[in-house]
Structure 1
Amino acid sequence: MAASSELQGVHQPGPVTVRSISLPSRLHPRADRLEAVLNRLKSSQISSPSVLVPLGAETIQTGLVGLAELYNCLEELINSPHTQQALLLYENGKLIEEALDGSVTLLDACGTARDMIFTMKGHVQTLQSALRRKGVDSRIESDVHSYLHFRKKVKRDIVKCLKALKRAESKAAFSPLLDLDHHLSMVVRVLKEASAITISIFRALFLFLSLRTMKTNTTRLSLISRLMPMKLLCSTEGQKIVNEVGSVDVALSSLPGHLRNNDAKNEVQLARRMLDTLHLSIDDIENGLDCISRRLVQNRVSFLNILAQW
């Protein structure tokens, strides 16, 4: 509960500066693609500072796919001889050092998210196997307790990650450098906007994983009754909102009591469906994070290679 209340103080998305960027076509034949990808991500729901409802797995996955495309475009920009020369000449590589410093936080956030997803996937698979066993027994209570304990620990870890992302966001906030030429100014702007978008997507992912369990004042209500007033991924004012992670939290929170009363058939079936949906969702997110991790590592290597030329 302490971690949940802490989240309320740090989870609000910071604004992503929206600027119209114009990349010279002579820089690279695919410059227009980079501009399009940046602008598409900046205008998407996942990067919007006004979104206060929990996002679903599909939105997160779409953001990760777009982010991978963005870093592919950035590689082409960074590997341009014109760009490399400009970065090296400005204050003895100061901008490269700043980019490398920021990349550490992004890599740490990506690694933490991957670890969380991997562990959650293991718990989900264990629960799926337990609920498929013929003759559901009390051993499931231990599996449910283990999963819910993991969820509480995740929320505490996410608080730390969100704070680290907030610090990185403030440190890398866009501020025009008036003494830069047009090309270098454009490169700096693109890199900072890419960093801001990456932070926004990681923030959305952590919030997806930290969604608080919905509670009801009537503990004797069946699981189905508890889920009925909740509309999955709905932003309608006044309605309770859950995503794939939250729906499993709700499904599991009352399951042990029904198991002890031997009236869990419907609840088990519903919990299995929720777990199946979550399993598919985290599979997609896990693949997306693996891809982003490789892109972030390559991005860091590219900057290190530029410094090696100095």
Structure 2
Amino acid sequence: MACHTRSVSLPTRSHLFLQKAEEELIKLRACVGSSLTYEIMLDALKAVGCVYESINELLCMSSNQNGFSHMQHRRLVEQELEESVKLLDICCTSRDNLDTIKYHVQDLQMATRRGDLQASKSKLRGYRLIVKKANRDVKVQKLNKNEYPEGDSLAAVSFLLETREITISVLQSIFVYLAREIVSQKSSKWSLVSRLVEKRTIACKGDAACLRVNVEELENGVESLVRHLIQCRVSLLNICSL
């Protein structure tokens, strides 16, 4: 996604929020374009949250809210409000899928502790299926790409369009990362299970435990993102009620 340069004459405080959002978006594009690691995925979720926090501050400022009195501008806000429902649904579904994945990893961890290879294979198969479903749940959702004219009062709303698109990319990247994490790059799809069950080293036993913690942290990151989206939606509703 190309970086857009805007020329806006916002009040100083508003300009600071706008600048912060732009900086976080630049970080996000770098994260999505990088090799997928747990740290990068977590940083990306935090960066998305920071963007929405800045956007919400812009939406809440009375100077911006007054600029939405124009009928055309109000329609654009209403369109964005409609899209926010779709994005919120995608994020909630992703959060719930991560919760399910976490319990699959926990079951896998218990099976490998018992040294039960067949049960471990079954749990791993379930993990792979739910990760595949989670990725598909994100991909099948289609969001409209509304076009917004430049203007001081529409700066926050236009940012929502860019952030919406990159949020979907981040969610997709998370499940691509999780799909790769369970499989060894050089051997069969059961390689992790084989190492956990047959070698029984302390390091191998920690693999599933570490993955469970990572999934839980990613789930918490998406939950935090959901809260930011709800705040932005409330601000959009307040604008529509002016």
TM interval, short-chain normalised: 0.7 to 0.9
Residue 178 of structure 2 corresponds to residue 203 of structure 1: no
Paired residue total: 241
Give per-residue Cα distances to partners, 1:216-272, cap 9 Å, x unaligned: xxxxxxxxxxx5xx4xxxxxxxxx6x9xxxx996402x46xx96xxxx1x1565542
Unaligned runs of 5+ in 2: none
Match of 1:85 in 2: 66
Partner Cα distance (2:111, 2:91) in 1: 30
Partner Cα distance (1:40, 1:304) in 2: 25
Match of 1:297 in 2: 230
Match of 1:280 in 2: 213
Within-5 A mapping of 1:114-193? 114-133=95-114, 136=115, 138=116, 141-164=118-141, 167-168=142-143, 171-172=144-145, 175=147, 177=149, 182-193=151-162
Change (3 A) 1:71 1:151: same
Give per-residue Cα distances to partners, 1:165-189, cap 9 Å, x unaligned: xx31xx216x453xx6x31353343
Unaligned runs of 5+ in 1: 1-15, 215-226, 231-239
Greater radius of gyration (CA): 1
Higher relative contact order (CA 8 A, sep 6+): 2
Match of 1:62 in 2: 43
Secondary structure at 2:70 match in 1: helix
| More displaced 10-residue stretch of structure 1: 56-65 or 92-101 | 92-101
Secondary structure at 2:13 match in 1: coil
% of aligned pairs identical?
Answer: 25
- Alpha-carbon deviation of 1:86? 2.0
Match of 1:110 in 2: 91
> Contact conserved, 2:134 with 2:175, CA < 8 A, in 1?
no
AA in 2 matched with 1:151: R
Partner Cα distance (1:172, 1:59) in 2: 26
- Alpha-carbon deviation of 1:25? 4.9
> Contact conserved, 2:48 with 2:225, CA < 8 A, in 1?
yes
| More displaced 10-residue stretch of structure 1: 99-108 or 122-131 | 122-131
> Contact conserved, 1:41 with 1:63, CA < 8 A, in 2?
no
Partner Cα distance (1:92, 1:129) in 2: 55
Within-5 A mapping of 1:264-279? 264=198, 266=199, 269=202, 271-279=204-212
TM-score, normalisation: structure 2: 0.83
Secondary structure at 2:5 match in 1: coil
> Contact conserved, 1:107 with 1:297, CA < 8 A, in 2?
yes
TM-score, normalisation: structure 1: 0.67
Of the three residues 8, 22, 25, the one matched with 1:41 is 25
Residue 171 of structure 2 corresponds to residue 194 of structure 1: no
Give per-residue Cα distances to partners, 1:101-121, cap 9 Å, x unaligned: 211221122112111211111
| Cα RMSD (Å) | 3.0
More helix by share: 2
